[in-house]
Amino acid sequence: MGKPYTLKVVRQKKSIPGVHLKKGNIIVSISPGLEEEKERELIKEMLTKWYKDSFGDIVRERIEKYSPELNVAPAKIFIKNQKTRWGSCSTKGNINLNWLLVMTPLEIIDYVIVHELSHLKVMNHSQEFWTLVESILPDYKERRKWLKENGTKKTIFF
């Protein structure tokens, strides 16, 4: 995803509640007549679920791409709402990813995934770790810089 979209809310009696992407717009369909606060919360819940579901598909695809390159496989992958991290890796081999990454360009998602997959081999941020990341993503420093400079902008709506 990683690009701006216009949010359009469609309120129709016969509409089936849902979220979909159409011609650069995120369309949220809801029933009319909800109180403003309840409507806002419902839209937020629907968008969050839609983004998480979309991100899950992207994550599976990207992990399938990079796991063989690093010769690693995570035990489990969790998509979470993390307040201060984009991703983390546990000593059990589990990878946690912040669902808000779905709002960043694919190159940034790839960086975070490669970063966390690399922790399955090297559990610290030593030179060995960064050399491993660089072997997969030679431009990782630019991607990391982008995330530091732009990442917090992705949380405005949520």
Residue with tokens 């530091």: 148
Q: Do the domain assignments include residue 149?
A: yes
Q: What is the pLDDT of residues 103-133, one digit of tens each?
A: 899 999 999 999 999 999 999 999 999 999 9
**How many domains would you assign to the chain?**
1
* pLDDT bracket for residue 148 (50, 70, 90): very high
CATH number at residue 146: 3.30.2010.10
Predicted TM-score (pTM) of this structure: 0.83
Give the helix, strand, coil percentages of the chain, each rounded to 5. Answer: 50, 20, 30
Residue 18 belongs to a domain: yes
- List CB contacts of 126: < 8 A, sequence separation 6 or more: none
- Indicate whether 1 belongs to any domain: no
Q: Which residue segment(s) compose the domain that 48 sits in?
A: 6-155
